[in-house]
Amino acid sequence: MKRITKWGQLYKTRNDSDSNSVLENFTGKLPMLPLEVLEEILLNVHPHQVVCVCRLVCHEWKEVVDSDSLWRERCRREGYQTCDATKLPEDWRLFYFLCKKRRNLIKNPGAEDKFNGWQIMKNGGDQWNIEPGDLNNTAIKYFVTSYATCMKSQLIDLEEEGYRPSLMDDFQPAIVISDWYAPRWDCGSEYEICVELLNQKKKPIRKFSPDTVIFQQWNDQKWNQMTHVFKNYGPGVRYIRFIHGGKDTQFWAGWYGIRVTNSSVEICLSVDR
């Protein structure tokens, strides 16, 4: 037992001595790494750490972090690619982070959580209701309107969702809108949608408000997708207001009006998928 203690003390003494020697000889500069080795290391570090920490280590590391090749390779490894192979991003780092951040900013788009996340603006007739869904097996439920106008909305705070004002102003990424709607086959109905890009004071900068879609009675009852992409909308966008709804045109009691589900608002570069 004494021998073990003695060797432990001897090892500790040598270890301390080596550490002191290393510290005394440290010049403050990290040893140069081959470019491919450094890039591989950075590819295995969390992307936010790469930008916020690794980039500050030294000039050489900053150059690698700022290079297109690093972020192009991250995109390749994580499966982010452009829709058109002939159109490549001008800024691969921006492309990477927008792809990674991309998600549906609409809360509760398919009535999974009743009406949570939505503000009811108009609740006419027998009011909004929720019914089982049948949208190509992708919507478990949908919202359905009644015999007088039913409208609901969501207000998206872009900064709260992680899209800084500088990003929205300087790069103006595409804002992609999508909404699914369908009538009943036995009752006429109307569908309305309005999406606004708002400034800090919640005043409209741009608006998408197509004509009301009208379905006649005895229609083929197909689901339809309404889409729109906002581009080059200028600086100042801080909020997105999404409004949709409608009614039936027969004035039937119950829920025979337009059905809506799977609404989405996404932020992306126009070249991504």
Q: How confident is the model at residue 136 (pLDDT cuts 50, 70, 90)?
A: low
Amino acid at 3: R
Q: What number is the average pLDDT over the span 16-32?
A: 55
Considering 69, 99, 129, which residue would you say is the last residue of a domain?
Answer: 99
Specify the pLDDT at position 215: 96
Selection from 72, 67, 94, 101 nearest residue 85 by Cα: 72
Name the average pLDDT for the chain.
87
pLDDT(30) > 80: no
CATH of the domain at 234: 2.60.120.260
Q: Which of the residue ranges 75-79, 198-202, 204-208, 258-262 would you say has the lowest mean pLDDT?
A: 75-79
CATH of the domain at 72: 1.20.1280.50
Residue 192 lies in a domain: yes
Over residues 219-272, the pLDDT tens digits come to: 888 899 999 999 999 999 999 999 999 999 999 999 999 999 999 999 987 644
Question: Exposure of 101 by Cβ count < 10 A (0-12 exposed, 13-18 middle, 19+ buried)?
Answer: middle
Residue 273 lies in a domain: no
Q: Which of the residue ranges 29-38, 128-137, 187-196 has the most confident prediction, judged by mean pLDDT?
A: 187-196
CA distance 135 to 28: 62
Residues 131 and 190 occupy one common structural domain: yes
**CA triplet 74, 76, 78: central angle to 5 degrees?**
70
What is residue 107's three-state secondary structure? Answer: coil
Helix-helix angle 35-43:68-78, to 10 degrees: 50
Q: What number is the average pLDDT over the span 191-220?
A: 97
pLDDT(182) > 80: yes
H or E stretch at 134: strand 129-135
Over residues 89-129, the pLDDT tens digits come to: 788 888 888 888 889 999 999 999 999 999 999 999 999 99
pLDDT(139) > 80: no
Q: Which domain holds residue 206?
A: 119-268
